[in-house]
Amino acid sequence: MGAKGVVGLAGALIVVLLVLSSVFIIPETHRGVKLRFGELVETNIQAGLHFKVPVIDQIREFDIRVLTMDLPSRQYLTVEKKPLDVDSYVAWKIRDVDQFYRATGGDEYRAQTLILSRVDNGLRDEFGVRTMHEVVSGQRDELMHTLRDRVNETSVTEFGIEVMDIRVKAIELPGQVSENVYRRMATERHKLAQEFRSRGQELAEGIRADADRQQTVILANAFAEAEKTRGEGDGESAAIYADAYGANEEFYSFYRSLQAYQNTFANKGDIMVIDSDSDFMKFLKNPAGATN
């Protein structure tokens, strides 16, 4: 290839590079701004194919989709001066590219910092006028909607950012407070358990006393019934003895004397000194029982 051919190829290549450097494409999910020597000359460039002056112009693109940002855990005081650790997040998007660039210089981190400051102040204000019950359950949705509207009103006009939603992910008591709450709950439960034990002990003592009383009454009634039965038996026994004695006095006297002899002389080692003329010895001296 000759010198003219090389020059021509180089010229064509330069033209192609110039054309390519003069064209830029904005994706559908983005919007752009054009800077010339660092000065803003065109904003809110829509999606599609566009042209710029090579080297002189600079293009910045910004994502206009909904973005989310997790806020660091912060501690806020309720109206009762009770501290709460709050985790939250923000959903936002760029609404006005021109205002966004002018307020933040196109720095997304700067935009997040601005939003964080507004949300942090808003949460502190909203928690400060509500009780713990209201921020946890009672008015939680109302709190979020009110805060979103307040932050969105300023962020749109000042930063070109639309705050779509603000949500609290978790609300917890601080570590030291949680320990105190758990300790108080344990103390209350222990006290309640002690009351139940005391009531149970009192009821058990009552049941035990009633059982002892019933036992005493039953035993007394049984003893009285036994004594009555024993007395009736003794009476019947005495009547039978009397009838038997009356039927044959001599035989009964002889039988009783034999029992007395048996009981008296049961132990061979016993010694008795007795008058031979006594009635006790009459059947030993005379089997018929006659006395001299």
Q: Are 90 and 166 in contact (CB under 8 A)?
A: yes
Task: Give the sheet arrangement for strand 83-94, strand by strand.
Answer: 67-77, 83-94, 161-172
Task: Please tell me the total count of domains within the chain.
Answer: 3
Q: Which domain holds residue 49?
A: 3-63
Q: Running DSSP on this structure, what letter comes out for residue 268?
A: T
Rounded Cα gap, residues 27 and 46, in angstroms = 9
Tokens at residue 247, please?
A: 């039927």
- On whether both 12 and 43 belong to a single domain, the answer is yes
Does 124 share its domain with 71? yes
pLDDT recorded at residue 292: 47
Angstrom distance (rounded) from CA 65 to CA 164 = 11
Q: Do 143 and 120 share a structural domain?
A: yes
What DSSP element (H or E) covers 168? strand 161-172
Point out the domain boundary residue: 172, 202, 234: 172
- Indicate the residue among 63, 92, 114 that finishes a domain: 63
What's the pLDDT at 91?
94
Q: What is the pLDDT of residues 120-151, one digit of tens each?
A: 999 999 888 888 888 887 678 888 888 899 99
Question: Do 55 and 76 fall within a single domain?
Answer: no
Angle at 223 between CA 219 and CA 229, to 5 degrees: 145
Over the stretch 23-54, which tens digit does the pLDDT of each residue have?
888 999 999 999 988 888 888 889 898 888 88
What's the sign of the alpha-carbon dihedral 267, 268, 270, 275?
A: positive
Q: Cβ contacts of residue 111 below 8 Å, gap of 6+?
A: 100, 103, 104, 159, 161
- Least Cα distance to 88 among 65, 110, 68 occurs for 68
Asked if the structure places residue 99 within a domain, the reply is yes
179-203: average pLDDT: 81
Q: How many percent of the chain have pLDDT more than 90?
A: 18
Q: What CATH number is attached to the domain comprising 159? A: 3.30.479.30
Give the end of a domain, one of 63, 87, 102.
Answer: 63
